[in-house]
Structure 1
Amino acid sequence: MDELILRVARLVAEEPARAGDRGGVAGTLRRLCSAARRDLSAAGVGVSVMAENGMRGVAAVSEPSCEPLEELQFTLGEGPCLDAFASRRPVLVPDLFDGAMRRWPGYAPALHDGGMRAVFAFPLQIGAARLGALDVFRVEPGSLTEGELRDALTFADVAVTTLLDGQERAGPEAVADGLDEVMGHRAELFQAQGMVAVQLGISLVDALARLRAYAYVEDRALGEVARDVVARRLSFDSGMS
């Protein structure tokens, strides 16, 4: 096995568990994020899982304050995580003011307001299969060094192996251990999207846009809004615009 892979795998294995850690794959990915945050001198690291069918969600973050930065990308439908997944290439933004404000007009200002000045996203992929992305956030502008870039790519490779191994153990019809909550939230979003489309007589694409807009205006996670729609605590056919 490659020495870099062995080194990163050792860092993840040595990362202590925390109270509240989920088990299985999610717990391993949380430790991977924390190890990467230290190794890459980052303010935060997150891993999001995504699939070709649109299922997506935040799988793990190095610390709770990082989760809103990850989740907001799905709320707004823009950001480095989504771009890395779509392009199959790393998205490297050493300075948010160098084009990112135009590239992500909703996300980049929010990221800046959260104290971040640089972000780097790495696709989680093997062959033609795409699994998600790993995001690295920094509070100071500046590029990753050659060694840091190499390490970040290796953390992404280890995340891929973790996801694949977890899925293999779970079986083809099941969700990898620890990720059932993440995928459950995405299923709720699809259901809520359909309900809003029926309520307003609009397309599914427009329904998702309405859900995202509501979540952004109300400063809530998209998954929370979807849960309220599915539970019929929130309806979009009662005079909402």
Structure 2
Amino acid sequence: MTSANGEDDYRATVRRLIDRQPQHLDLLQRVCRAVTENLSAFGTGVCVMTADGTLGVSAASDEAIGRTEELQFVLGEGPCIDAFAARRPVLAANLADAANYRWPVYAPAAHDNGVRAVFAFPLQVGAARLGVMDIFRDRVGPLTDTELRMAFTFADVTVEVLLDTQEKNLTSNSTGLLDVGHRAELFQAQGMVMMQLGVSIAEALLRMRAYAYAENRRLEDVARDVVNRTLRLDGPKNEDPELPKGTA
């Protein structure tokens, strides 16, 4: 099992890799570029999706990958859609195999665009789903254990990026600071969510932030509803998913 310090080191490394990307790019584009460069990928796409699976916003490492990414929503099938619905990674180490039974329309189209393998990772916290990160390769073969671990870390950091961006947008017309009363209410809400879900205090805050993102609400408003007992965040724990063995 990875130690807390080891996990923090991975996250810090991933954030540095993202920060090294050209600053004129959109933040999600920088994520896609960093994933592509450091996981020997053909390209990377990030899809931000609504609760019903509708594409909201997407970003890609380049325009060609962007078209391959959005093609899934045009055709109504693909690894991104499956990973979002199942809340689990979809690892297709050989896209040609998937064409026979899983994505009979999308797989040949992606293959024509140079894609030979694709790995889709849900962007989620507990019951709150934000979207999916797709990693495309131009050769057949699974991710190594190290690459898989790095991919999960990139997905986790992408979730944090989305939550941070949402909170900044919602507080852009205010000071962005919580007064003493709101901080106390937030801490109380964290404790209540921690007890509801049986998670750590840090995980409780992450669950609240994810819920606020999914509902397009301010964190302080979510905290107030939790404290007033008009909102509960019961849902599946944010445990590390069992790693599939390279299945399509």
In 2, Cα distance between equivalents of 1:46 and 1:28: 12
Residues 4-37 of structure 1 show CA distances to partners (whole Å, capped at 9, x for unaligned) of: 110000100111235xx3xxxxx11100100100
* 2:10 is equivalent to residue 10 of structure 1: no
Instruction: Indicate the SS of the match to 2:94.
Output: coil
Return the offset for 1:97: 2.2
Shift of 1:101: 3.4
How far apart in 1 are the matches of 2:119 and 2:159? 17
Shift of 1:100: 3.8
Counterpart of 2:97 in 1: which secondary structure?
coil
- After TM superposition, give the deviation of residue 94 of structure 1 in Å: 0.4
Percent of residue pairs bearing the same amino acid type:
55
In 2: Cα distance, 1:30 partner to 1:97 partner: 28
**Equivalent residue runs for 1:9-158 within 5 Å:** 9-18=15-24, 21=25, 27-158=26-157
Measured on the aligned residues, the alpha-carbon RMSD in Å equals 1.7
Q: Which amino acid aligns with 1:119?
A: V
Q: Scaled by the length of structure 2, what TM-score is found?
A: 0.64
AA of the residue aligned to 1:108 = A
Runs of 4+ in 1 over 3 A off after TM superposition: none
Contact 2:90–2:121 (Cα < 8 Å) also in 1: yes
Alignment of 1:192-207 (within 5 A): none
Distance 2:97 2:52 in 1: 32
Give the structure-1-normalised TM-score: 0.66
1:114 partner letter: N
- 1:152-196 residue CA offsets vs partner (Å, 9 max, x unmatched): 111111110011111112229x9xxxxxxxxxxxxxxxxxxxxxx
- Cα distance in 2 between the residues matched to 1:140 and 1:58: 27
* C-alpha contact (below 8 Å) 1:49/1:58 kept by paired residues: yes
58-67 or 110-119, which moves further after superposition? 58-67
User: Are the counterparts in 2 of residues 101 and 109 from structure 1 also a CA contact under 8 Å?
Assistant: no
Return the offset for 1:54: 4.4
In 2, the alpha carbon distance for the partners of 1:136 and 1:16 equals 20
CA distance, structure 2, for counterparts of residue 111 and residue 137 of structure 1? 10
Cα distance in structure 1, aligned partners of 2:95 and 2:145: 20
